Structure 1
Amino acid sequence: MKISVIGCGYLGAVHAAGMASLGHEVVGLDVDTDKIARLQAGKVPFHEPGFDSLLTEQLASGRLEFTTDPSKVAEAEVHFIGVGTPQQKNSKAADLSYVHAATDSLIPYLCEGAVVVGKSTVPVGTARALRSQIQQAQPSAELIWNPEFLREGFAIKDTLTPDRIVYGVADGAEWAAEKLDTIYRSIIDIPTPRLIVNMETAELVKVSANAFLATKISFINAMAEVCEATGGDITELADAIGHDVRIGRRFLNSGLGFGGGCLPKDIRAFHARSLELGLDESLDFLRLMDEINLRRRDRVFAMAEELVGGEGALAGKTVAVWGLSFKPDSDDIRESPALDVAGRLVAAGATVRAYDPAAMQNAIRQVPGLILTESPAEAAEGAEVVVLCTEWREFRELDPEAVITRCPGKRIVDGRNCLDREAWVRAGWTLRSPGRPDLAATE
């Protein structure tokens, strides 16, 4: 089938290449000329494992192309909208300007019987309004809301073998769902659960899922605060309650908190929408979760400060920061707790030597005071303390004995609770981590 993807950022570019790999003819459309030129040349503008080869293969197949010319989508039968919905600058609400711009640019090129498929994360009520706008211009067209559930680092897997597909379909639009089935046929036949719901439910699925995951993370981080006050161990606590099948162990890792381009802005936008709906009390817990999450950054910064002498002691000290992206296997620094901590260290007067396997060039544009290095060991050179902020595998597997010779302070804050604590202490390190008792090397 001939399809288009409007918006070729992280979501759109991966979706376009993924649909081409299923055998469809795909044109990706975006207004960013530099991004389009890079994608058309097979150059990935972001870090995502495996995407380089997928993009190259699909461009070579002739089934995939990228353009800034909206007229090239005119022959498509199905149009996916995958633009961003960032947080508004002066509000917690979602900025829908890109969604509206994408819809406006698409409407003149809709053929009879065209299906528009929304994948962007939007406040509930958005899809029905867009459907009305589309059908005023092209009465035979239809809109389905088909939320994405991509995890950075696993985007290809989540596109081609998702754990479920959700269609938000209006009454009488079953024919449009059948057309979308044609596109997803090989995915549905895996088999993959396919849920057909109304538009409002489809809009709520993504933000509800993110809110639930953020709740688990915020809960365990709140318990970490209790553990620090009482002498408990948050990792052992999480292991114990995680054996309860009603709770589960996933997303119960305490540490620096969540970030990225989805969870923070989505829970804020969800809360903002609840206020508009007069549901202040129903979703006020989202505001509390956001506060808990932001406090984790304060705590990790304070731990580094305490290890070098207390409040104000970071000025003039050398600090190593391991990790700048919001999560491993990504170069995304949006709402990155790691980069936030690194920036605070710079602002406190520390010389910050940083290393990240993928995000350094993005990070230096936002925090120009960082000194970028080529390895974790080089970052630790001359440091009074190391602060591990992102749980890249490279850091988890480091030999603590090899690194300690570079770090005269022999102190580390494990901001992600991901290191083998006993091994690091045996090697001579003093180690602190959120929600766990301190461990110090003995002479």
Structure 2
Amino acid sequence: MRMTVIGTGYVGTVHAACMADIGHEVLGIDIDAARVATLAAGRAPMCEAGLDDLLTRALASGRLHFTTSMDEGAAFARTHFLCVGTPQCRDGAAADLRYVDAVVESLAPRLRPGSLLVGKSTVPVGTAARIGRTLAAVSPGSEVAWNPEFLREGSAVADTMRPDRLVVGVGSADAETTLRTIYAPMIRAGVPFFVTDPATAELVKVAANSFLATKISFINAMSEVCAVANADATVLARAVGADSRIGDRFLEPGLGFGGSCFPKDIRAFAARAEELGAGEAVAFLHEVDRINTRQRRRTVALARNLMGGSLADRRVAVFGAAFKPGSDDVRDSPALAVASTLRKEGAEVRVHDPQALDNARAACPGPAYVGTVPEACEDADLVLHLTAWPEYRQIDPAALALVVREPSLLDARNTLDARVWRQAGWAMHSLGRPQDDGAGSGSARSGGRPVLVAGGAS
């Protein structure tokens, strides 16, 4: 089939490349000419596993092209996927639909008879119905459907090609047939295909994100209790997660969630529920949000306490800037939020990240950003592990102890092997686990000047 994909951010770029790879003819559309040129050259504008290879293959097949022209897109196909961003409003919690509305305003008068506009953007329930009324007035015979995405940054290609489920909210048999044809390879492979109305499809996405965010904040709330009860939240999480009714995914105590989805989606969902008169039903989401942001404050407070009550003039190394491993996305990054606060409290902060340094430098220019772990840690009084990149689990803690001023580490993600680090002389601290008494601190240091790590992560 022929289709356009309007908006080439994470969702649009991945969707366009994947649809071309399974055999469809795809035209990606974006108003950003520089981004279109980058994509047309086979380079993804974001860090995403497998995406560059997928783009190259799709472009070489002749089935994928990119343009800035909406006229060209409207003439190219009758099926159009809407993949633009829906950020949080600057003056409130609701979703900002200006980009969605701009696309509809531009595309609707140009649509060919019988066109189908398929929304993938995360929107407040009722958006599809509103767009449908616009199409009825401007492009009679065209219709709207909603097909939410469930991508995880870092595994977006796999999540598109082998999704857990496909959800389509349609208003006609023709729209359902079109979407079944588009996703035929996935359906043949056994992917569950849910057909519903557009409003339910819109709600599926925000309900899923709200549940996952709630699960993360629940275990972090338990970690607060564990901290004052001298209990271990990581063991608690494993024991609770062993219950098949609960499961252990997203039940990992730590610094909490960030990124471009969970924070703004739960706020927008709560705001929309208030508009509909159902705010009390999702009032718990406000506490989910508060718990999540409190984890950042708890991390800073623990770092401050470890430094004797003040971070002024202390050197702090930070492992991680991206909001999660496998991505260079720093939007609402807990790691950057903590690094920024540490600096505001007077610390000299050096940040390392395997992928996100350029984006972090642009978004948060205060800290120093360095290319290797030893550079970040040289003469550090404290090391903070804030993004759970696998590279950090490969660090040789004994070698790194020779670089820092004090071998003291705060593992805010609870993914480093505390036993190994303690054996190497480090005082280990974390959120929701019994704290190191510091007895081992300094035992791995040798006389003379510290030396750089040999064989450590870079």
TM-score by length of 1: 0.98
CA contact (8 A) 2:271 2:279 kept: no
CA positional deviation for 1:57:
1.2
Q: What residue number does 1:130 align with?
A: 131
Deviation for aligned residue 1:137: 1.8
Aligned to 1:360: 357
Match of 1:386 in 2: 383
Does 1:13 find its partner at 2:13?
A: yes
| 2:181 equivalent in structure 1 | 182
For the residues of structure 2 that align with 1:105 and 1:14, how far apart are their CA atoms?
A: 23
Specify the SS of the correspondent of 2:326. Answer: coil
Distance across 2 between alignment mates of 1:103 and 1:53: 32
C-alpha contact 2:14 2:156 (8 A) present in aligned 1? yes
Task: Give the letter for the 1:351 counterpart.
Answer: E
| Residue 2 (str. 1) matches residue 2 (str. 2) | yes
- Does 2:259 correspond to 1:290? no
Partner of 2:100: 99
What amino acid is the match of 1:165? L
SS at structure 2 position matched to 1:167: strand
Partner Cα separation in structure 2 for residue 193 and residue 367 of structure 1: 42
C-alpha displacement of 1:432: 0.6
Q: Which residue of 1 aligns with 2:68?
A: 68
The DSSP-based 3-state class of the residue aligned with 2:280 is: coil
Shift of 1:280: 2.5
2:197 maps to 1:198: yes
CA distance in 1, matches of 2:321, 2:379: 20
2:235 maps to: 236
Show CA shifts across 1:301-340 (max 9, x none). 1111111111xx2111110000001000001111110000
Higher mean C-alpha displacement, 70-79 vs 326-335: 70-79
Q: How many residues align?
A: 439
Alignment of 1:32-431 (within 5 A): 32-73=32-73, 74-170=75-171, 173-310=172-309, 313-431=310-428
Measure how far apart 1:135 and its partner are: 2.3
Q: How many Å apart are 1:157 and its aligned residue? A: 0.7
**Offset at residue 281 of structure 1 (A):** 1.5
Residues 425, 441 of structure 1: 8 Å contact kept: no
- SS for the counterpart of 1:281 is helix
Q: Structure 2: any 5+ residue segments left out of the alignment?
A: 444-458
The AA in structure 2 aligned to 1:189 is R
Q: List per-residue Cα deviations over 1:191-243 (Å, max 9, x = no partner).
A: 11100011111000000000000010000000000001111110010011111
Deviation digits for residues 68-117 of structure 1, max 9, x if unmatched? 11111122121000000000001000000000111112113211221110
Is 1:220–1:252's contact at 8 Å kept on the other side of the alignment?
A: yes
Q: Matched residues in 1 for 2:393 and 2:250: separation?
A: 18
Give, in whole Å, the separation in 2 of the partners of 1:338 and 1:441. Answer: 28
Query: Per the alignment, in what secondary structure is the counterpart of residue 80 of structure 2?
Result: strand
Separation in 2, partners of 1:361, 1:117: 34
The SS at the match of 2:214 is: helix
Amino acid at match of 1:414: D
Are the equivalent residues in 1 in contact too, given 2:382–2:406 (CA < 8 A)? Answer: yes
Larger deviation, residues 294-303 vs 400-409 = 400-409
1:296: how far off?
0.2
SS at match of 2:243: coil
Aligned to 1:29: 29
Of 259-268 and 433-442, the range deviating more from structure 2 = 433-442
Q: Secondary structure at the match of 1:391?
A: coil
Deviation at 1:441, TM superposition (A): 4.3
| Counterpart residue type for residue 323 of structure 2 | F
Retained in 2: the 8 A contact 1:426–1:441?
no
Cα distance in 1, alignment partners of residues 290 and 364 from structure 2: 23
For 2:286 and 2:121, the matched residues in 1 are separated by 23
2:435 aligned residue (416, 430, 438): 438
Flag structure 1 segments of 5+ consecutive residues without an equivalent: none
Superposition deviation, residue 274 in structure 1: 1.1
**Which digits, 9 at most, give the CA deviation of each residue in 1:133-187, with x for residues without a partner?**
11222222121100000000110011111010001112xx111110111111111
Whole-Å separation in 2 of the counterparts to 1:281 and 1:108: 40
Q: Is the contact between residue 75 and residue 111 of structure 1 (CA under 8 Å) also seen in structure 2? A: no
Secondary structure at 1:332 match in 2: coil
Instruction: Report the secondary structure of 1:396's partner residue.
Output: helix
For 2:354 and 2:52, the matched residues in 1 are separated by 17
Identity of aligned residues (%): 51
CA distance in structure 2 between the aligned counterparts of 1:88 and 1:19, rounded to whole angstroms: 31
Query: How far did residue 377 of structure 1 move?
Result: 2.2
1:58 is aligned with what amino acid?
A
What is the one-letter code of the residue matched to 2:311? L
Scaled by the length of structure 2, the TM-score of the pair is: 0.94
